[in-house]
Amino acid sequence: MLKIHKNLRHLVLASAIVFVSLSIFIAVIPASNLHYVDALPSMEPFTESEQRGLQIYVQESCVACHTQQVRNIEMDNVWGDRPSIPSDYYYSKARLDIWRQSPSILGTERTGPDLTNVGKRQPGKEWHLLHLYNPRIVVKESIMPGYPWLFEEKSESEITDEDVVVAVPSEYSKNPNKKIIAKKEALDLTAYLISLKQADINGTPAMDFIPAKEDRSSVKSGDGASSGLDGAALYASNCAACHQPDGSGLAGAFPPLAGSSIVTGEDTDLFIEIILRGYDARPEYAVMVGFADVLTDEEIAAIATHERTSWGNNASEITAEEVAKVREYIEGLNQ
């Protein structure tokens, strides 16, 4: 019997064989199979700004507190419309050079929320810039650190047309006499975050085994419109981050909904149109992104009813039929 442990040459040779074998099966073979993963048809490559934003995301160690992986379990339904698949990471796993590949961004801890679909949950650039500057501005309970080094202060006379001014409320500004300007790094990181949207895989036969998310229109609750949807919950997940849970808004950034004449007014078509198309008519507030492609008529009706009947507001309910009518009108204008 060969006594390897008593022969140094044999021991080193055996160790080398084991090491090479494990390297081949654990690293080389899986890496060689990566080219079989392709992007989904509806996915678009990162722009240069989004690619730089990905690098900043890694550089700032965002992956330490945020995941980008929706698991096939019920509690992850809130983070995406379906479980994540390898193709979702096709563009984020760029090869830096012949020896290196970009770090994994899947993450292992959710100190903060999963970001797989954050571009759909929070499509507004202004919200992300405020959140990066000081998360407590938009989410009072947040424990996320701010990233003020991604911004700079300028006086009114120093601001140029190319500068992006962040509408930071005065109580959060270190120098009220100066404006907060987003640096290129902040804009790139924001562009990357907004790009994080799960690609649609409907109609792709190879993906039929992936369970679809439960139809949201079947969820019932006693709060909201006559459809039975929970308007308060829908508001919390889609609107509260900007307009605040109590509808008070955020001075200099997002208008209040409590006591708003637009919210409670008789011109419900205008109110519905704003939710569907978005709003950018008041320079003192950030741009609102529309929800026409994100929410159903029933969901918008439930949210609108919640806003018209909460925080002291006392107006009539909005029905899904009213939303459908306005949606049809808008679609007619776009044709």
Give pLDDT tens digits for 201-233: 764 433 333 344 344 444 333 344 445 788 898
Which of 146, 161, 195 lies at the terminal end of a domain, its last residue? 195
Task: Please report, for the domain that includes residue 315, its CATH number.
Answer: 1.10.760.10
One domain for residues 106 and 231: no
Structure tokens at 112: 């903060």
Query: What pLDDT sits at residue 5?
Result: 65
Cα Rg of the chain, angstroms = 25
Lowest-pLDDT range, 76-80, 119-123, 220-224? 220-224
The number of angstroms, rounded, from the C-alpha of 104 to the middle of its chain's C-alpha atoms is 18
Query: What pLDDT sits at residue 206?
Result: 36
Q: How many domains does the chain have?
A: 2
Query: What pLDDT sits at residue 203?
Result: 46
| In the chain, % of residues over pLDDT 70 | 86
What integer is the mean pLDDT of 58-81?
91
One domain for residues 181 and 235: no
One domain for residues 177 and 243: no
For residue 36, name the pLDDT band (cuts at 50, 70, 90).
Answer: low
pLDDT tens per residue, range 233-252: 889 888 888 888 899 888 77
What integer is the mean pLDDT of 275-293?
82
What integer is the mean pLDDT of 281-305?
85
What integer is the mean pLDDT of 129-147?
93
| 119 or 35: which leads in pLDDT | 119
Query: What pLDDT sits at residue 19?
Result: 94
Identify which of 111, 106, 113 has the alpha carbon closest to the alpha carbon of residue 92.
106
Tell me: pLDDT of 299 over 70: yes
One domain for residues 171 and 248: no
One domain for residues 263 and 157: no
Q: Specify the length of the chain in residues.
A: 335
Which residues constitute the domain of residue 186?
48-195
One domain for residues 69 and 190: yes
Query: What pLDDT sits at residue 210?
Result: 37
Within a domain: 208: no
One domain for residues 136 and 230: no
Tell me: pLDDT of 100 over 80: no
Query: What pLDDT sits at residue 290?
Result: 85
Measured between alpha carbons, how far is 301 from 181 in angstroms, rounded to an integer? 37
Within a domain: 17: no
Q: Which residues of 108-118 are buried (b: 16+ CB within 10 A; e: fewer)?
A: eeeebebbbbb
Specify the long-range contacts of residues 73-77, CB closer than 8 Å, at least 24 apart.
Answer: 76/114, 77/213, 77/214
One domain for residues 135 and 187: yes
